[in-house]
């Protein structure tokens, strides 16, 4: 599991503005400023978490993620920003943000879903990473949400604010900084982190739209995405194909790909992933899909996902969504 080096470098630079020692933070990363600035530089999750813990200790800023997003230039989004600015509508731009979110921060994919009177832009941190370092995950997700709102303002050429913002974290004693940044109702202890954006604003046209340039940029982004996650996607497809419906073991997947277990793990690691991470992602996806079938009992779902018992599955599902399977099923089927 890895993070983009430039992303970490931007956070270190902002921490320096806030009084932290950039020299100390760079030393913790084990890389020079020039090395972190390389386009293809990766940083292991353990190192990223260690640097972020030091940043939080040295800056003593409980809202570091949101403040960093206000400080960073929008151009930090790079190719994804260019794609959004040449899209025809805000919705198309947000769809591309979701498609290419893994190019910016592969451990917080985005999704956009239409609801009755709003579009829900969800920020879904990798479960394994979030459990390893909850505070770092919270800071990064909140920063991405604030950064997305800035980009939304740029695309609409107006300071439209969300109808509401949902946070998975518990409500803090002081919410004034969240209120300042998001200027809308805030709901904590929710199933996921999300911005709820007004339908009419999301469906607005973008004045800088350029179809010809957009085609070129999207093609380039898809090529980059494919090269970054080619083996990861291959392994995921094999796991899905071997599911009957129980998920296959690491040994079974390696045998299907005609390689050793160690080689499979190494190739996934080279792309910043692990077999455990893929299984966790698919378990979550399959669980949500299975729970849509009212004929399946929770015990059946647990068995199909290779859990030792229903209680183990329920604990995992609570960790993923913040709700029990029965409560989630009730909320989404009614």
pLDDT in tens, 14-45: 999 999 999 999 999 999 999 998 877 888 88
Q: Which residues pair with 196 in a beta bridge?
A: 120, 164
Q: Between residues 328 and 167, which one has the greater pLDDT?
A: 167
Domain end call among 21, 36, 61: 61
Asked if 131 and 246 sit in the same domain, the reply is no
pTM of the model: 0.71
Does 224 reside within a domain? no
192-245 pLDDT, tens digit per residue, is 899 999 999 999 999 999 999 999 999 988 888 777 667 888 898 888 888 877
DSSP 247: P
Report the C-alpha gap between 244 and 165 in whole angstroms: 39
Asked if 31 and 66 sit in the same domain, the reply is no
Q: Between residues 82 and 106, which one has the greater pLDDT?
A: 82
* Inter-residue contact 155 to 93 (CB < 8 Å): yes
Total domains in the chain come to 3
Domain end call among 13, 39, 61: 61
* Other Cβ atoms closer than 10 A to 287: 22
Query: By residue range, what is the domain housing residue 319?
Result: 229-333
DSSP 122-191: EE---HHHHHH-HHHHHHHHHHHHHHHHHHHHHHHTS----SEEE-SSPPPS--HHHHHHH-S-EE-S-S
Does 166 reside within a domain? yes
Taken as a whole, the chain contains a residue count of 334
* Residue 180: band (very low, low, confident or very high) from pLDDT cuts 50, 70, 90: very high
> Which residue is listed with tokens 């591309």?
96
Mean pLDDT (whole number) for 52-64? 95
Domain end call among 61, 83, 100: 61
Pairing outcome for strands 186-187 and 164-166: parallel
Mean pLDDT (whole number) for 114-122? 91
* Residue 281: band (very low, low, confident or very high) from pLDDT cuts 50, 70, 90: confident
Q: What is the torsional sign of CA 276, 280, 283, 289?
A: negative
Q: What share of the chain is helix, strand, coil (3-state, %, to 5)?
A: 60, 10, 30
């Amino acid at each position: 599991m890895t993070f983009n080096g430039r992303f970490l470098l931007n956070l270190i630079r902002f921490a320096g503005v806030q009084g932290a020692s950039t020299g100390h933070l760079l030393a913790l990363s084990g890389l020079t400023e020039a090395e972190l600035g390389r386009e293809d530089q990766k940083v292991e999750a353990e190192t990223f978490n260690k640097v972020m813990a030091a940043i939080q200790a040295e800056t003593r800023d409980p809202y570091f993620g949101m403040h960093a997003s206000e400080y960073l230039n929008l151009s930090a989004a790079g190719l994804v920003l260019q794609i959004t600015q040449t899209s025809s509508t805000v919705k198309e731009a947000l769809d591309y943000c979701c498609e290419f979110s893994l190019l910016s921060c592969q451990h917080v994919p985005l999704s956009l879903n239409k609801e009755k009177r709003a579009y829900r832009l969800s920020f879904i941190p990798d479960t394994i990473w979030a459990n390893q370092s909850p505070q770092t995950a919270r800071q990064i997700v909140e920063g991405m949400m604030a950064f997305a709102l800035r980009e939304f303002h740029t695309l609409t050429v107006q300071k439209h604010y969300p109808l509401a913002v949902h946070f998975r974290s518990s409500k803090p004693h002081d919410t004034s900084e969240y209120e300042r940044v998001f200027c809308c109702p805030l709901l904590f202890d929710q199933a996921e982190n999300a911005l709820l954006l007004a339908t009419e604003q999301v469906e607005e046209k973008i004045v800088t739209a350029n179809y010809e340039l957009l085609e070129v940029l999207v093609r380039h982004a898809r090529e980059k995405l494919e090269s970054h996650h080619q083996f990861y996607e291959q392994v995921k497809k094999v796991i899905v194909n071997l599911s009957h419906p129980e998920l296959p073991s690491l040994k079974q997947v390696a045998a299907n790909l005609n390689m050793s277990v160690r080689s499979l793990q190494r190739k996934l690691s080279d792309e910043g992933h692990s077999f455990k991470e893929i299984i966790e992602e698919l378990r979550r996806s399959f669980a949500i899909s299975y729970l849509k079938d009212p004929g399946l009992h929770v015990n059946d779902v647990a068995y199909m996902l290779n859990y030792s018992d229903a209680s183990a599955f329920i604990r995992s599902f609570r960790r993923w969504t913040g709700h029990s399977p029965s409560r989630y099923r009730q909320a989404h089927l009614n």
